[in-house]
Structure 1
Amino acid sequence: MKRLHKGLKRFGVISSLGVLLVLIQGALVTNTGSGEGCGQTWPLCFGQVIPLDPPPETVIEFSHRLIAGIVGMLVIMMAIWSWRKLKHLPETKFLSIVSVFMIVFQGLLGAGAVVFGQSDLIMALHFGFSALSFASVVLLTRLAFEDSNPKKQYVPIVTKPYKWFVIGTTIYSYLAIYTGAYVKHTDSALACSGFPLCNGEIIPSIFHSAIAVQLLHRSAAMLLALLLIILFIWTLKTYRKKAVLVTCASLAIILVAGQAASGIAVVLTEASTITISIFHALLISLLFTVLCYMVMLVSRNKNR
């Protein structure tokens, strides 16, 4: 029996775009320093349901809270709907649980940061949870599209070394995301002026904590790019006939190149353009989602 899932697919696309919007808004809040735009009150904003005559930072923070709340409900509905309609697919329950947990937990983390305050280490996780939430909702949506057309349910047969390299690279990409978020929350983005040198030095002093954080992120980003190049070459050499893997590996290379270019642009422009910083956050989220999809593909059983 052919399953169409028209409503679920449309709802999944809307939910995915919604989570992406929340992710972008979160990056905007961080880059504009609007985290305290509603003071230390939550869910109210300065004790008001709707703030009157708010300054720009309050508009940014309040709109982020409002959209995040709406999207959170959409994600929960998407998870329940998928659980009911796609329960015959082995990935559905896991992705449904992850999507709900991440959207709820990141909301609580953000609320806790407003009311009680949080360390930079903890707040850096907020963006990482957003990336996981986005990836899980996108993959649920992808399952709905695949189940509508059984001929497009990809089950690529790959070797164990390739499978674990994809999984390992994806896990590492999440760590790289965390280093980038930590750079933002510690205001270390401009600790190194210039690129590829840091303040005109090949090996600068790392006794300054901001420089150490910036160099850690640069090193993590370069290693991620290297891993993705290896993945791309490996995929083309061994699995060139598996179009879906080649497409994903190619997208990963394009996205990491854009990620590197936007990161360099942030440094060279001294973070004067917020759009570049937000684009930087957007690209790494899309890259992580592509890699998560590859993990889902290579983890499937041949006899599924």
Structure 2
Amino acid sequence: MTANQSPRWLRYLAIITVIGTYTMLIMGAIVSKTESGRGCGSSWPFCHGQLIPETLPLETVIEYSHRIVSGGVGFLILLLTIFSWMLYKQNQKVKLLAGMSLFFVVLQGGLGALTVVFRGGLEQKAALALHFGFSLISFASVVLLTIYLFQLAKNKAFDRDLVHIPSGLKVATWGLTFYTYLVVYTGALVRHAEATMGCGYSFPACGVTYFPNLSSIAGIQMLHRYAAISLWLVTLWFLLVVIRKYMHRSDLVKGSIWAFVLITLQAISGIITIQLDGQVMAALVHTTIISIYFCILSYLCMQVGLPWRRSSK
């Protein structure tokens, strides 16, 4: 299929799926922040073993709504994957992005079910953190697929985009993205370990210390802070390198600038979240910004290509 034959309805479906996946991501954050994960008891996929629960306290409404939305989004991703594979049988990038979207939404759904059925201590908190991480990968994959479909429609997705991209920049881009993913897990652990206010309102230190015991909620909070600060510094370094050496690639320059702006806003929102005693709205803004930031980095990875793939000469 040529770029001019790219169906508009598929791109519309992709946009709707992006919105749905983002909604699923945010609703999952609401479930965690409001501690509504046990709103349906230990039964899954139904709520308290019923299709329609007899009683509907707020935590049940929140948890069951998240399950319903997740099921609907999973169906949208399935449709998008099937149609993408059918219409772009020879396009490996489309098939990869669509496949990742579907694989990780199924994986996060299965992991979410396990955290409901089986109770635990630290293991359950780690599983909940993984649940968010897999949701983020699914969201980023849908976003990248949508961008790529629009690139195909505008005849802008060509291998010549990979010309003069040295392996060093590719490794740096993918390395920054991978490190971001690890930092995201430290943030998810803060949320699920209820460590948002582990240092009270104190910032940047944790009370009178900078290095509390990592097994405490204060230690978990400070671990995330140090990871976030280092991420801000690395993103700044990455931006300066791109501006200095790759000004001819407007896509990389714009993406790097947006990445730095977003990680700065993320840092500010993190401080505000602490000052507001971890209020839900502040936490959702924090989650939204890091999700968009991760998508920007994933876009840069798509634009530079795989580290082990040689650029055209």
Letter in 1 for 2:108: Q
Counterpart for residue 203 of structure 2: 195
Q: Which runs of 5+ in 2 are unaligned?
A: none
Instruction: Tell me the TM-score normalised to structure 2 length.
Output: 0.92
Give how far 1:87 is off: 3.3
The more displaced of 77-86 and 12-21 is 77-86
- Cα distance in 2 for partners of 1:288, 1:23 equals 13
Question: CA RMSD for the aligned pairs?
Answer: 1.7
1:169-199 residue CA offsets vs partner (Å, 9 max, x unmatched): 0000000000000111111111112111211
Counterpart for residue 268 of structure 2: 261
User: How many residues are treated as equivalent by the alignment?
Assistant: 302
Q: Which runs of 5+ in 1 are unaligned?
A: none
Counterpart for residue 141 of structure 1: 146
8 Å Cα contact 1:38/1:62 also seen in 2: yes
1:11-32 residue CA offsets vs partner (Å, 9 max, x unmatched): 0000011000000000000000
The correspondence for 2:47, drawn from 28, 45, 48, is: 45
8 Å Cα contact 1:195/1:268 also seen in 2: no
- Cα distance in 2 for partners of 1:126, 1:205 equals 27
Distance 1:123 1:164, change over 3 A: same
- Cα distance in 2 for partners of 1:205, 1:142 equals 43
Counterpart for residue 109 of structure 1: 111
1:136-195 residue CA offsets vs partner (Å, 9 max, x unmatched): 111111121111121465714322111100010000000000000011111111111211
1:63-111 residue CA offsets vs partner (Å, 9 max, x unmatched): 1000100100100111111122233333222222211111011111111
1:179-232 residue CA offsets vs partner (Å, 9 max, x unmatched): 000111111111112111211x24243265212211111111111111110111
The more displaced of 114-123 and 75-84 is 114-123
8 Å Cα contact 1:99/1:136 also seen in 2: yes
Counterpart for residue 216 of structure 1: 223
Letter in 2 for 1:35: G
Instruction: Tell me the TM-score normalised to structure 1 length.
Output: 0.94
Tell me if 1:245 matches 2:243: no
- Cα distance in 1 for partners of 2:186, 2:214 equals 18
Counterpart for residue 24 of structure 2: 22
Give how far 1:55 is off: 0.9
For 2:161, what is the secondary structure of its paired residue? coil
Letter in 2 for 1:127: F
Distance 1:247 1:86, change over 3 A: farther
Question: Which residues in structure 2 correspond to 1:220-239 (within 5 Å)?
Answer: 220-239=227-246
Give how far 1:302 is off: 4.5
For 2:199, what is the secondary structure of its paired residue? coil
The more displaced of 18-27 and 89-98 is 89-98
- Cα distance in 1 for partners of 2:161, 2:240 equals 21
The correspondence for 2:302, drawn from 285, 296, 302, is: 296
8 Å Cα contact 1:86/1:144 also seen in 2: no
Letter in 1 for 2:23: L
8 Å Cα contact 2:18/2:142 also seen in 1: yes
8 Å Cα contact 1:3/1:149 also seen in 2: no
Give the share of equivalent positions with the same residue, in percent. 37
Tell me if 1:279 matches 2:285: yes
Counterpart for residue 171 of structure 1: 178
Distance 1:232 1:264, change over 3 A: same
The more displaced of 104-113 and 20-29 is 104-113
For 2:56, what is the secondary structure of its paired residue? coil
